[in-house]
Amino acid sequence: MKPATKGGNGTPRQGLRFTRILLRNWRNFRNAEVALQRRAFIVGPNASGKSNLLDALRFLRDIARPEGGLASALAEPSRGGFKQVRCLFARDPSALVIEVDVGTDDAPALWTYRLVLQSRRIAGAGEQVLVEEEKVLHEGVPLLDEVRGDGKTPDWLVWTQTRLEQVQQNGQFRDLVEFFASIRYLHVVPQIVRDPRRMLTAGDDPFGGDLLLRMKATPKKMREPRMRRLSEALAVAVPNFGRLDLQDDAAGRPHLVAEFHNWRPHPAKHSEELFSDGTLRLIGFLWSITERGGPLLLEEPELSLHDQVVAQLPAMIARAQRLSGRQVIASTHSQMMLDAPGVGLDEVLQVKPGRNGSTIAQVGDDPMVRDQVIEAGWPIGQAVLPLTAPIDIHRLATANVISD
């Protein structure tokens, strides 16, 4: 299944995307729900749950992937098991719930998926994570509606797997499974991109270890024009930048090679090992938003980039989406990102921490923000980011952490 395909007039058909997410007892979120647009920017204080909101979608991806499943998704190192992902603020009911709508602008609830997990003690088997409820609706019609046992039945092992991950069971909603599996999370770490050993074992590496292999795997007739467009964009953002190419070394490993103009008649050539952090992150961002695929989850794409470059990222996402149809959801702390022309109040999601866990809302739901942006003409970032600052942040500079 492709999230976006070409229509008869050459324009991309509307692709599937997440339109709503509900979280209960997931990491920071005891009870949170929000609508999602095709392009979304998540803001909030440090440690409020921005990354954990992205990880809830990534969790569905890890269950649905052919090599995945519920057990491996929970055991993933960044999660560390059920006890680590269940909300610290959880009270009765304490089950973990993830529910999403997937659809289009015209049919926002084309698919609905609901997963309820609980940890129970099984005689002779100790503590086990069981699927207590799993539902799939297509256009409101239930294709799967199971409320399972409490683990006391002899076949309790049945409840340790989702139907989502079972090929024999998910035939009626295979399109939804493939949509979940197509999600990609990206947080480019330049040191990892530069490390040639990483690509030997990377697989699907959220930190960019497979970036060069993905470029190489792109068919030549698609890769070469994309590299030319990438070169043109980088020449605008990076001083003295010339042409970007992809070349194999003697061992067959791909490397980025860029020309940099100088006073000599011929440009100097450098591989990615000598690229700046900002250049590598910008390359990863530009390549990923132009790839066809499912939702792209980005972690602070503004890192290492000049503010004026950051200000152009939302427009570049929107332009790429017109061709790929790909949903892009990004966490950010950047005012320049939110202040960019065209960013709407419904595209900015604010995570608010509290004593009973974090909540999520579109910033347009806040009357004060709406008045500042719509009536007073403030840029969105100017109105929203001060609301995400820790209380008494001015005291940090005078905190007694540095001895005289």
DSSP secondary structure of 203-270: SS-TTSTTHHHHHHHS-HHHHHHHHHHHHHHHHHHSTTEEEEEEEE-TTS-EEEEEEE--SSSS-EEE
Alpha carbon 75 to its chain's center: 19
Euclidean distance between CA atoms 339 and 379, whole angstroms: 5
Q: Which two tokens stand for residue 165?
A: 């991950």
- Residue 34 host element (H or E): strand 29-35
Closest CA to 338 of 369, 380, 301: 380
Residue with tokens 């954990």: 52
Let me know the angle formed at the C-alpha of 392 by 391 and 394, rounded to the nearest 5 degrees. Answer: 135
Q: Is the pTM of this model over 0.95?
A: no
- Residue carrying structure tokens 């999230």: 3
Angle at 112 between CA 109 and CA 117, to 5 degrees: 155
**Among 194, 340, 213, 217, CA closest to 281:** 194
Secondary structure tally for the chain: helices H, strands E: 14, 15
Closest CA to 40 of 386, 282, 363: 363
Three-state SS at 81 = coil
Q: What does the DSSP 8-state code read for residue 296?
A: E
Rg for the chain (alpha carbons), in Å? 23
3-class DSSP state for residue 73? helix
Give all strands of the β-sheet with 268-271 in edge-to-edge order: 241-248, 254-260, 268-271
Please check whether residue 176 is in contact with residue 102, taking contact to mean a CB–CB distance below 8 angstroms.
Answer: yes
- Between helices 50-64 and 174-181, what is the axis angle to 10°? 130
Residue 142's CB is within 10 A of a number of other CB atoms, namely 11
DSSP, res 36: -
pLDDT tens for the chain, residues 1 to 404: 333 333 333 333 348 999 999 999 999 999 999 999 999 999 999 999 999 999 999 999 999 999 899 999 999 999 999 999 999 888 888 899 999 999 999 999 999 999 999 998 888 888 899 999 999 999 999 999 998 755 455 678 889 999 999 999 999 999 999 999 999 999 999 999 998 777 655 568 889 988 999 999 999 999 999 999 999 999 999 999 999 999 999 988 899 999 999 999 999 999 999 999 999 999 999 999 998 889 999 999 999 999 999 999 999 999 999 888 899 999 999 999 999 999 999 999 999 999 899 999 999 999 999 999 999 999 999 999 999 988 888 788 877 766 55
